[in-house]
Structure 1
Amino acid sequence: MRRSSGTVALHRLLNAGKETALTALAVAGCLSLLAVAAGAWLGVSLIVFRTGSMSPGIEPGAVAVVREVPATSLQPGDIATVQREESALPVTHRVVASEADPANAQKVLLTLKGDANTTEDPVRYHVESAKKLIFAVPELGSWVMRLQSPWLMGFTTVAMAALVTVTFWPRKGARPETPGRDSSKEGVPVQQIPKEQAPYDSA
């Protein structure tokens, strides 16, 4: 049965859409891998500001790009992320003072202060390395948090699996070609070859 021109056009359009979607997913995957590799190689990562301690320069919800650096390279005025000993969460504040550790030349005692705070942090941070802020983008944190949502990641995984399945699922009515078989000769009857007659002597 021959398909109508409308059905053929729709079939081609669906195939083109699936190929475009697969290409987009492949490109996005490659870019993600490159971003992760570049971040690991350069020591760059992202942090999301959840509080207003660095307002008004950096408001809650901003995303900052930070880079791991030796603590000895930090200067007053730099914004650094350090780990707090009494908490699992780090703190990102501005460096007020940096004092060398006489017992360890690789470590320093950092005094930090949030721009919105009236006083310095109550403790000094004894660190060997810290994450120095490179730049911040306002209001991007909510989108980053959404992308990290388990629900969204699960939905994306299921959608990608469904798209790949639909794309490579065998179409109805399609028969695989047998290697070495000429399909153009299907249905042609085999000609019967007569048996050779036995010779006979003439009388």
Structure 2
Amino acid sequence: MSAPTRRSLREQATVDDASASPAPAAASSRGTLGRALADVLLWLAAAAGVICIVLVIVAFTANITLIMFRTGSMAPTIPAGSVAVVQSVPASEVQVGDVVTVDRAGDLPVTHRITSIAPGASADERVITMRGDANAADDPYPYTVQTVRIVLFSIPGIATVIVAMGDPYVLGGLTIGATVLVVWAFWPRSRKESREQIDPAGVDR
């Protein structure tokens, strides 16, 4: 029997490397998939942050706020548990049929539909009567106002979500989750992971 030559030893080593390559390739594929998922989540978080900033700017400049409905006095138009987006406007701009929020001294604001409008003591003042869509009669007394908050639109069923977002435990969990995601995405890769990104020909994938 002849002794193995250097060429045969190199060919055997190449065969052994080829048979052992699937495991590192699979590990590299899993790592690439994980990082791709992290990138997608980071982009989504960044987009959500930009949207929140834009909404805050719009709300501040356009006098827009949110109103949560605890009762069903405006059902079925605005059921209990809904959140309405409202904008502060002069009382002189509203009309009968508009749904508005009126602030009351020493009491919670009321959001009902306008049933009548009368002039007030000044050019900017109006005396309005209102009624909830689910109520059989107008509110007990009229409201003298110079500004009101008119309902632009409402979203049913999300009041509980907004309330939950203000919970310290929920906020803490979201903060921790975001921190973990950012650390995981930007954590320096090991030398082994870096080598796995380069093919045998030395070309970066």
TM over 0.5: yes
Separation in structure 1 between the aligned mates of residue 164 and residue 32 of structure 2, nearest angstrom: 35
Q: Secondary structure at the match of 1:91?
A: strand
Amino acid at match of 1:28: A
> Offset at 1:44?
2.8
Tell me the distance in 2 between the aligned counterparts of 1:117 and 1:44: 27
Choose from 101, 104, 111 the match for 1:92. Answer: 111
User: TM-score of the superposition, structure 1-length normalised?
Assistant: 0.73
- After superposition, give the CA deviation of every residue in 1:30-76 in whole Å (9 maximum; x if it has no partner): 11212222233333333221101112322111222222110111222
Shift, 1:134, TM fit:
2.2
Greater C-alpha Rg: 1
Once residues 5 and 136 of structure 1 are traced to their aligned partners in structure 2, the CA distance between those partners, rounded to angstroms, is 52
- Counterpart of 1:66 in 2: which secondary structure? strand
User: Given the alignment of the two structures, is residue 34 of structure 1 paired with residue 54 of structure 2, yes or no?
Assistant: yes
What do residues 80-125 of structure 1 show as CA deviations (whole Å, max 9, x unaligned)?
10111121x21101112222222x3222222222222233223332
Residues 57/15 of structure 1: CA separation in 2 closer, same or farther (3 Å cut): closer
- Say if 2:119 is the partner of 1:108: no
SS of the aligned residue for 1:165 comes to: helix
Match of 2:188 among 159, 170, 178: 170
Question: 1:154 aligns to what?
Answer: 172
Equivalent positions of 1:186-201 (< 5 A) are: none
> Hey, what does 1:61 align to over in structure 2?
81
Matched residues in 2 for 1:46 and 1:142: separation?
A: 13
Unaligned runs of 5+ in 1: 175-203
Q: Which residue of 1 aligns with 2:8?
A: none
Partner amino acid, structure 2, of 1:54: M
C-alpha distance in 2, partners of 1:74/1:15?
53
Contiguous gaps of at least 5 residues in structure 2: 1-20, 193-205
Query: Once superposed, what is the RMSD of the aligned Cα atoms?
Result: 2.3
Whole-angstrom distance in 2 between the partners of 1:115 and 1:8: 61
Aligned letter for 1:121?
D
Tell me how far apart the structure 1 counterparts of residues 77 and 43 of structure 2 sit (CA, whole Å): 40
CA distance in 2, matches of 1:114, 1:57: 10
AA partner of residue 91 (structure 1): V
TM-score, scaled to structure 2:
0.73
* Structure 2 Cα separation of the partners of residues 46 and 170 of structure 1: 43
Q: 2:32 aligns with which of 12, 34, 41?
A: 12
Bigger helix share: 2
Read off the aligned partner of 2:88 and give its amino acid letter. Answer: E
Alignment partner of 1:22 is 2:42? yes
Letter paired with 1:71 = A
